[in-house]
Amino acid sequence: MSEMSMERHVLQFMGAYTELQDSMQFYVYGHLSDEERQEFTKRNPDSKILDAFKKLCRHT
């Protein structure tokens, strides 16, 4: 595999990961109450989005 194709694969992976993370954040945000939404946007959701998504999926 050439260096350029490896770089391309890494960029594709990063793009897919970012898209997945954004989708999970949107899904979680949509299921929060107004008070929870304010708290959710104050903290950095990227660091805890997977935990919030798993919690939401367990309860729905």
Report the domain count for the chain.
Answer: 1
Q: What is the pLDDT of residue 44?
A: 54
Q: What is the pLDDT of residue 59?
A: 78
For the chain of 60 residues, list the mean pLDDT of each consecutive stretch of 10. Answer: 73 86 86 84 65 76
Q: What is the pLDDT of residue 15?
A: 85
The CA distances from residue 12 to 6, 23, 25, 26, 28, in Å, are: 10, 17, 20, 21, 24
Place of tokens 């989005």: 49
Confirm whether 14 is domain-assigned.
no
Q: What is the pLDDT of residue 21?
A: 83
Residue 53 structural domain: 21-60
Give alpha helix (H) positions in 3-44.
3-30, 34-42
Confirm whether 31 is domain-assigned.
yes
| Torsional class of 43: left (φ above 0), alpha (ψ -120 to 50), beta (otherwise) | beta
